[in-house]
Structure 1
């Protein structure tokens, strides 16, 4: 197959892409951009290689959401934060965490369907409720865990684990799952 035939085939596949696929891949691109830009603007000094490697991995995330690229992207952004960021809970940290969560959820959704598949809007709506719950509950649990940890309360690990289990259960049931489903 020649190069122009491959480009023509790629353009035909791009035209056949449905709105749910566009929405998921746009969410990956937007959230990934936030996850790269916010730590770069934060007061801590980030390694110069993080945005370069992250940008390449973000392009791969958008094009191939069912590959290893989203996981590697999240690892690179997290390593950039772990190497130089302060241990305090700050707004840039929370925004980066939410952005990484959106990248994860949108990649999981986009990775389930081929780019040329026509997906009903109902599938996107079913994904949107648990994704919104996760995005809203994630920072609440992180902030609550940070407050409990800073208070030196006995049993704080139990409180943190219980909050994570409760958040996971809320997301599970928001997704329409039940305990008896297999």
Structure 2
């Protein structure tokens, strides 16, 4: 198959795609762009390598959401933030975290479907509540971290692990998951 035939096939699949599939890919692109731009405009010096890796990974995530590109994108943005960002918590941290959570959730939804799938918009209902909870946890966790940032609390690692476990359990139950698959 030549390159022009592949492009023609891809465009035909794109025209046949449902609104839900296109919406998921648009959300990936918008949230991923926010996750790239927010750390870039901060006053601290971000490594240029983050930008050079993140942009192609975002494009690959939009085109192929079921590939490893989405995971690598999340890893690159997070690692870039951890390597150069100051230890103070600013407004950009929870917003970037919310953008990364949105990329993760939208890529997970889009990865379930081929690009030409016909999906009714009601299929998104299962994702609204867990997605909303995940997005609201980012500013909540940032506010809590800002309050106890300089406090020397004994057992703070246990508190953090307990909070993460509670969050994971809440999202699992809200998503309607069950332990047995019968």
- Cα distance in 2 between the residues matched to 1:39 and 1:149: 21
- Cα distance in 1 between the residues matched to 2:22 and 2:116: 10
1:34 alignment counterpart: 34
2:125 alignment counterpart: 125
In the alignment, structure 2 segments of 5+ residues that lack a partner are none
- Cα distance in 2 between the residues matched to 1:164 and 1:138: 12
2:7 alignment counterpart: 7
1:21 alignment counterpart: 21
- Cα distance in 1 between the residues matched to 2:101 and 2:32: 10
- Cα distance in 2 between the residues matched to 1:35 and 1:86: 17
**Root-mean-square deviation (Å):** 1.8
- Cα distance in 2 between the residues matched to 1:158 and 1:146: 18
2:94 alignment counterpart: 94
2:67 alignment counterpart: 67
SS, match of residue 177 in structure 1: coil
- Cα distance in 2 between the residues matched to 1:57 and 1:16: 25
Residue 145 of structure 1 and its aligned partner are, at CA, apart by 4.1
Residue 15 of structure 1 and its aligned partner are, at CA, apart by 0.7
SS, match of residue 75 in structure 2: helix
- Cα distance in 2 between the residues matched to 1:179 and 1:7: 43
Q: Does 1:153 align with 2:133?
A: no
The TM-score, its normalising length taken from structure 2, stands at 0.91
In the TM superposition, 1:46-61 aligns within 5 A as 46-61=46-61
Residue 181 of structure 1 and its aligned partner are, at CA, apart by 5.4
1:104 alignment counterpart: 104
Stretch of structure 1 that moved more, 143-152 or 108-117? 143-152
